[in-house]
Structure 1
Amino acid sequence: MKTTLTKKTAYLGAGAGLVLFALFGLLPGSLLGGAAGIKFAGLLFGLPLEPGIISRSLVLISMLIGVLVSGIAIVTATSTAGWLLGSIVQASGAVPAVAAEEKTAIRRR
């Protein structure tokens, strides 16, 4: 990310990704992670699961992993899309790259 426009659009994409994750990724991530955890605990301890602390902790850990994977995937995808959009706008010439870099250089002085 060399230019400020690509940085700004990548940050906008990451922010949009966080909102999308909160709306559409949190529940499915925990649901799929919990289902995987129940299967894994069922392989280890047999089904139906008994209400023991170890089987519950395995399901909890897998739910957390499902939420983390969902969040990482959504935020990475949207920030990449934002960066790509900024790169396309920069390459099209709608915003001159030299002017943006000069403004940054002036601010740093």
Structure 2
Amino acid sequence: MEKRNAKKFAYLGAGAGLGLFTLFGLLYGFLLAGVMGLQLTGMIFGPGEFGILARIIVSLGILFGVLLAALACVTGTATLGYLVGLVIDAIKETRTGSLKIHNAAANK
């Protein structure tokens, strides 16, 4: 069983995931991870502390949030596209397989 459509649809899904990430994931990744980083620095250093270490923690939190949002968007849609391609490949194989069996029976 060839998986041509599965591969094509996986790439299509990954591209759609990148589009969804730029529209939705990037903003929410920055926002939620930035707030979490600020809360973490507030718990560690106390409120109102804006030293270099606090800024590094907030920056790493934002970076982690954006990368996690990108991973979720791209991986999820690529997996969904791959599964759709597998279903299409299975349907095509079933149709061509049943036609070959039908033709073989007609030739007897």
User: Does residue 1:58 correspond to 2:57, yes or no?
Assistant: yes
- TM-score (structure 1 length as normaliser): 0.80
Alignment root-mean-square deviation, CA: 2.1
- TM-score (structure 2 length as normaliser): 0.81
1:105 aligns with: none
Secondary structure at 1:77 match in 2? helix
Unaligned stretches of 5+ residues in structure 1: 99-109
CA contact (8 A) 1:5 1:90 kept: yes
User: What amino acid does structure 2 have at the position aligned with 1:36?
Assistant: M
CA contact (8 A) 1:90 1:96 kept: no
What is the CA deviation profile of residues 38-87 of structure 1, one whole-angstrom value per residue up to 9, with x for unaligned ones? 111111101x2322111111101100100000000010000001001101
Structure 1 runs of 4+ off > 6 angstroms?
Answer: 94-98
Work out the number of aligned pairs and report it: 96
2:7 aligns with: 7
The 3 A distance-change label for structure 1 pair 96 and 55 is farther
- Give the 5 Å matches for 1:42-81: 42-46=42-46, 48-81=47-80
- Between structures 1 and 2, the one with greater helix share: 2
Unaligned stretches of 5+ residues in structure 2: 98-108
What is the CA deviation profile of residues 24-48 of structure 1, one whole-angstrom value per residue up to 9, with x for unaligned ones? 11010011111111111111101x2
Secondary structure at 2:30 match in 1? helix
Give the number of the structure whose alpha-carbon radius of gyration is greater. Answer: 2
